Structure 1
């Protein structure tokens, strides 16, 4: 048998590699492996995308842009691998079509390039005569939609992140006052700790026999905090309290407990029960509207600590003495708060009422009394958006701060009033028990400042109120009408607690200490929300379509008996046909536009009927439909011996 290569020009024979010239039937492993591998990689990419977004579900949306970028990368990876699998399957299908149907050169070109050039879809012949392969090409173009939509399945929404932990919160520890010595002040954050009280002393050097310190008045810091509390109408907020207790950017709630002073109030008299005089009240209901003109009256100084106890020098030492009076500096009693007020109702008086001419609406007089007690408090703190809110959730009155009784007496002339305080054994003296004396003095300082806001009267003269009390500067009265609040008894206790909680705002005070308490922290965050259903709707569609294309591709490969392609090598070896040489005359450089008649010429891939068959091997190539026969799977085929153009025949 004569080799085809031997017929070539001797100068070209050395350039042609030796080969058997016989086709290798059967599916080469590389392309099917790539088809399946790309499909599996696409499925893995979809699963990875799902797991990645699932891992973000419910978590705080940190680095949101980066997370979406990662998701987009997985989406494009999935799209690229599935499209790659579909395109490889498409190539197998079009070769099956080329074998079965004759198509124009223009349709063949469109079929080969349509997965890369969408304008090729305008070729109606390709769509009509190769519907399945065209559908596969459409699938390859539509799959990127999944890559565009899938990142949108991860979004954010506002949520509340909360946890339980331990917070460091300020509290009040009045026992620090018990052991304070102004001569050797405690250092707090690099500065001297401040007491609630100022002191006088019998010996500034603390060396004289029997020396002692005794209470003088509230400290200026305590006065300042009292004023701030009243004029802000609530406890002064702790500066940076939310960040210190909760942490920056967090809201939190917690409760603290402490023992401090408090007023226990009880009603003594009202319009239906006048027990004022029997209870020791210094006034009765007749002084209050509607009988009287007063709408508020407060007697809060009974048995108040005498100040000064003795005249002192610039160092706070008594000018005269010793010997000192036996009861010098003794805290004998805590003045009881006697408060009367009238409630201003909206109900008009009956026409026959004796008060109808004086008052337009019904006035209800009341009297209550408050005693100073050592009190156990539980206070709930709530920090939201940096704002502090406090609620006293419980108060337990333990015992009177000074357990003595006060009885008013009159001097011999019957005009000046004095008080009998009993029993003397319960007086708090500065010498015997210094820590207890200093503790009670701290309580007394707070009560003293509070009473300054309450004493005096408010009365109505004609249409205008006449105010002889600082109570009108507080929230205990209606600022517009000057009438006391209807629940004045409760509000008096609450106002005093505002003053106590205001002390927490000054960390330089001796009594302010930090304590570790359980707290609940929360904050508003952007939280990732993953819509798995939306992601998988898109992925399920393209995975199913890719799988269908995979089946079509494998069926086409089995039917073809070989793995086909559309690359340059495949094109070169399948178009070696003298007829095509003649058709392509004048266009060998690939220049366009191609002649219209050339583009309309219909070709089919099959066994070319020509006279160049040697060794019993037929030649397979693109040719005219009348020139080509059906390729039979398993039959041996070979190439055509080159001939000169002058010998080519075109049927």
Structure 2
């Protein structure tokens, strides 16, 4: 028969050592005696392991970070349109849950450590100790008078664990959806601004504050051999030429400017005012003879269904750059160079078919009568008052009020470069010239069924019916207004006003964040958790090492105590509840003394654990316990 394995075991303490032999069953022989000795009887080193305080601190810092993240997320939602309302609320609830769980976790870490501080300084009934071990998670367990009386600090820490989750109730509701209406300041409302003579330095550069603005025309600087030079109109800028093409071809009104109502809060309206040029048109019975236009040009005698007086290189008017043709014959030293002597009106004639049968000549070509309209349009100084806004991200012009102040250049007057209004006049002249240049000349139609022919660019605009090719009556003024308003689309032609009155339409749902109802509960929770962490740090220092309330800790502190074995005889199954007599037994955690060993004079074996009053002494920091 095989002999049982013999394992040499050495027990040691600070005073003595004993050596013996133990019989073990057939185990793996790799479990040598040194390893067994190390695992079973390792002296405890007095120090706080990094894990417990690190986790307690990490949880607290994580809670603070989640709280700050919650605040920043809700802050970013302020004023945003409510598109999918469920997701911001879900994110908020998730952040609130993580925040309170981190704060509760840090507080529970402090609670567990302070539990052992309490158990070392006072003896408590087993029923109270039960309550201590579950107090941070089971509030009913703390309904114990002795708990409240002898473990007040524990009770407060437990209460913190129960109440901290309340922070997750109020904080998600700090972000709400609300309907906004009424008037409030809008940021970055833009209006149109034409540079004036006072906006330039002597070298032609813009004055401070208007550096980003640009003219719609180029200019020449003429050396007068004096202290001041003379600036004269040269031609429209290429950038403005591109804008003209886009604006006059637009089928959706004026080109949109920047949205001042926010990136998503788009349903709003506001009114801007500015000075600018405007054409005013009046009906005439016939042309005045200053152009090559006559009533005979129109059906049924003629073929023109639209005619606009030419402006470029006609009858010694303007060249293709918008300058009076007389300038070409002058030197820059001539005092008349750069002087405007006349602003030419636009003479418009157009025809459209009626539903009345035509009984006159050429009725085979034109079966229905045509009506003819003659209009004279004059360029004026004007004051604009425009109500516009944004709806669903698109610009809408609600109302345009134009108050004409008088002709841009009255008959018999002239505009000289030395005039303080020259720069403003040149800008207005540029807009009028480019508009006139676009719609000049005519559209011909041989009869009612043939296609139109055109030598005018007006067909590229919405002023012409795309189906019939006939001009749309009385839209010339409005089309020029759209051109002027399109200047808002370019930053070089607009100025920005801050805190401008803006009316927001009723029914727009936007997110509204009330930081008070998030920062207050989180501030209280963070403060309470910080006090709890401080209490935990104090407990680490008081006890001298880190402890937990898990099974492994309970196993370590209850082993080998014959007194407890006798007390719990017959209850090793752990059935609950235990008899009241047992539950009323008072225990304390400390140094359990073996009286027989003390009587031998060697002090006995020092061991920490639970014991009844009189059977345990206070833990002595720095001593070795086995």
Q: TM-score, normalised by structure 1?
A: 0.49
Aligned residue runs from structure 1 range 307-326, under 5 A: 311-316=360-365
Question: Partner residue of 1:623?
Answer: 611
- Give the Å deviation of 1:532: 2.6
Alignment correspondent of 1:562: 545
Of 128-137 and 251-260, more deviation after overlay is shown by: 251-260
Shift of 1:243: 12
Deviation, structure 1 residue 526: 3.3
Question: 1:149, 1:246 → 2: CA distance?
Answer: 38
1:393 is aligned to 2:362: no
1:572 is aligned to 2:621: no
Q: Which residue of 1 aligns with 2:160?
A: 139
Instruction: Please report the RMSD computed on the Cα atoms of aligned residues, expressed in angstroms.
Output: 4.7
**Structure 2 stretches of 5 or more lacking a match?**
1-8, 12-17, 193-249, 285-355, 409-438, 444-461, 490-501
Matched, 1:517 2:538: no
Q: Secondary structure at the match of 1:69?
A: helix
- Structure 2 CA distance for partners of 1:24 and 1:330, relative to 1, 3 Å: closer
Match of 1:18 among 26, 37, 46: 37
Task: Give 1:120 deviation, angstroms.
Answer: 0.7
Contact 1:260 1:376 in 2 (8 A): yes
Matches for 1:65-214 after TM superposition, within 5 Å? 65-159=86-180
Change (3 A) 1:250 1:98: closer
SS in 1 for 2:36: coil
Contact 1:375 1:395 in 2 (8 A): no
Structure 1 residues 544, 162: CA separation in 2 closer, same or farther (over 3 Å shift)? closer
Partner deviation per Cα, 1:101-142 (whole Å, 9 max, x = no partner): 111111101100111222212122212110001100110111
Could you give the per-residue CA deviations for residues 57-84 of structure 1, whole angstroms, max 9, x where no partner exists? 3444444432232232222222122211
Report the counterpart of residue 236 of structure 2 in structure 1: none
Alpha-carbon distance in structure 2 between the residues aligned to 1:606 and 1:2 = 25
Give 3-state SS (helix, strand or coil) of 1:587's partner.
coil
Structure 1 partner of 2:76: 55
Q: Distance in 1 between the 2:517 and 2:158 partners? A: 25
Question: How far has the Cα of 1:608 moved from its partner?
Answer: 1.4
- Runs of at least 5 residues in structure 1 that lack an aligned partner in the other structure: 168-237, 265-306, 319-328, 335-371, 400-434, 440-502, 639-651
* Aligned equivalent of 2:531: 548
Secondary structure of the residue aligned to 2:364 is coil
User: Could you say if the C-alpha distance between residues 313 and 532 of structure 1 is closer, same or farther in structure 2, counting changes exceeding 3 Å?
Assistant: closer
- Determine which structure has more spread, i.e. the larger CA radius of gyration: 1
Query: What is the CA–CA distance in structure 1 between the aligned matches of 2:79 and 2:251, rounded to whole Å?
Result: 33
SS at match of 1:637: coil
Q: How does 1:525-540 map to 2 (within 5 A)?
A: 525-540=508-523
Aligned length: 380
CA distance 1:8–1:630, change in 2 (3 Å):
farther
Q: In the superposition, relative to structure 1, how do residues 78 and 438 fare at CA in structure 2: closer, same or farther (>3 Å)?
A: closer
- Residue by residue over 1:170-225, the C-alpha shift from the partner in whole angstroms, topping out at 9 and shown as x without a partner, is xxxxxxxxxxxxxxxxxxxxxxxxxxxxxxxxxxxxxxxxxxxxxxxxxxxxxxxx
Give the match for residue 602 of structure 1. Answer: 586
Q: 1:56 to 1:311 in 2, by over 3 A?
A: closer
- Mapped partners of 1:143, 1:164: distance in 2: 46
Q: 1:23 to 1:519 in 2, by over 3 A?
A: same
Q: Provide, for residues 356-381 of structure 1, a one-character-per-residue CA deviation record: whole Å limited to 9, x for no partner.
A: xxxxxxxxxxxxxxxx8645687766
Contact 2:463 2:471 in 1 (8 A): no
State the 1:505 CA deviation: 12
Secondary structure, counterpart of 2:170 in structure 1: helix
8 Å CA contact 2:254–2:486 kept in 1: the answer is: no
Distance 1:162 1:7, change over 3 A: same
| Offset, 1:390 | 3.6
Give me the whole-angstrom Cα distance separating, in 2, the residues matched to 1:77 and 1:101.
36
Q: Does the Cα contact within 8 Å between 2:280 and 2:404 map onto a contact in 1?
A: no
CA contact (8 A) 1:57 1:529 kept: yes
8 Å CA contact retained: 2:358, 2:366: no
Post-superposition offset of 1:584: 1.6
Contact 1:162/1:523, CA 8 A, preserved across alignment = no
Question: SS at the partner of 1:394?
Answer: strand
Write the distance in 2 (CA, Å) between the matches of 1:330 and 1:17: 117
CA contact (8 A) 1:254 1:519 kept: no
Aligned-partner Cα distance in 1 for 2:253–2:466: 11
